[in-house]
Copies of this chain bind each other. A is one copy, B any other.
Amino acid sequence: MPALEQLPACPVETTLTLISDKWKMLIVRDLLDGTKRFGELRRSVGNVSQKVLTSNLRQMEADGLVSRKVYAEVPPRVEYSLTETGRSLRIVVDAMWRWGEQYKAGLASVRHG
């Protein structure tokens, strides 16, 4: 977890520091559907390299947004899910979802007069 003192004063900036990496919001979006294995997540997120996905997940784990569960199996199985805090990001994802839809609806209506 980051130290409280080193987070920006502005709450908006705090949020940005935690989730503005290229894939983090998409990871949250997908994990809101429930626990996923690494490979599964990688496919659903889109065009992420394995290295970058791992790195983003590690940071999110350190920030208390994601939890990681390793099963002692062969082949290995690792499952990722959102923590309580991670799930609370739903309000942000939802806001983005709604805004994105509105925006595209706006474009479409302009287009068709």
Residues of chain A touching chain B, judged by Cβ–Cβ distance below 8 Å, are 1-2, 4, 7, 10-16, 18, 20, 22, 25-26, 29, 85, 88-89, 91-104, 106-108, 110-111
Contact = CB atoms under 8 A, between A and B. Distances in A.
A18 B25 CA distance: 14
Contacts of A20: 20, 22
13 contacts: A4-B108, A12-B25, A12-B29, A12-B97, A12-B100, A15-B96, A15-B103, A16-B25, A20-B20, A91-B95, A91-B99, A92-B99, A95-B95
Chain A: interface secondary structure? Answer: helix
A104 to B, nearest CB: 6
A101 B11 contact: yes
